[in-house]
Structure formats: structure tokens, C-alpha cells
Amino acid sequence: MLTEINAYMHLKKYISINEFADLDMSIFYFKRRPFIVMDLSNEKIYFNESGLEWLRTEKQGELPVQWIRSKYLPTKKWVGFAIDSKKDNLILQLIDDYYSATYNMLLRN
């Protein structure tokens, strides 16, 4: 699933990647702004919380996701969940929704 998410992210406009082999993490940037972090060794994906707050409040009842914090990332900015192959569509939907919200926030304002 991680490989599929990685490939999916590369299809998005304005997205670049920085991989840290020693931490086994990939950071995706939206126009130089940290956007999504994938923790490959622990199979978790984290979103920058500043753009995700609306998504977590509006869709809280719809999303069967247990949000978690990372021990490596600043706790006030990043929130994520464990990647589960049963939630492939949900993960891609969250990425799309978050990408759209970030796009609207950064490029249209």
C-alpha cells in the first residue's frame, strides 16, 4: 500500500518529495510546504494538521480512523493514522480531500 500511495502522490500537481533513508520516512511537500509524511517502517501516514482541522471536524462521524501523533514530528502540527490495506480507498480519499483543501488555501488566496 505504501508504494501505491507514493506513486499516487507523484501524480499530484505541485508535489515534491524528500526521502530520509535513515529514518525510513518520506516527506511530501506542496509548493515547499510540508504536506504529508509517510513513516515507512511503522506504516503510518501523517498530515499537517493546519490544513486538516476542517476535515477532522466535518467528517469525524464518517471516518473510521483512530488519529495518532508521531514521536518524531512536532506534536502540534502533525496527526496521522496507521495504514491498513482494508482502508485503501479511505486513505486515497483523505489525500484527495486534504490536497484540495491545501490547494484552495495556498493557491487561491
Q: Which residues of 1-40 are buried (b: 16+ CB within 10 A; e: fewer)?
A: eeeebeeebeeeeebeeeeeeeeebbbbebeeebbbbbbb
Res 64: pLDDT: 66
| Tens-place pLDDT, residues 61-91 | 556 677 788 877 776 788 888 888 777 788 8
| Tens-place pLDDT, residues 4-31 | 888 898 899 899 999 988 888 899 998 8
- Domains of the chain (ranges, CATH numbers): 2-104 (3.90.1150.30)
What's this model's pTM, rounded to 2 decimal places?
A: 0.80
Cell of residue 2, nine digits? 505504501
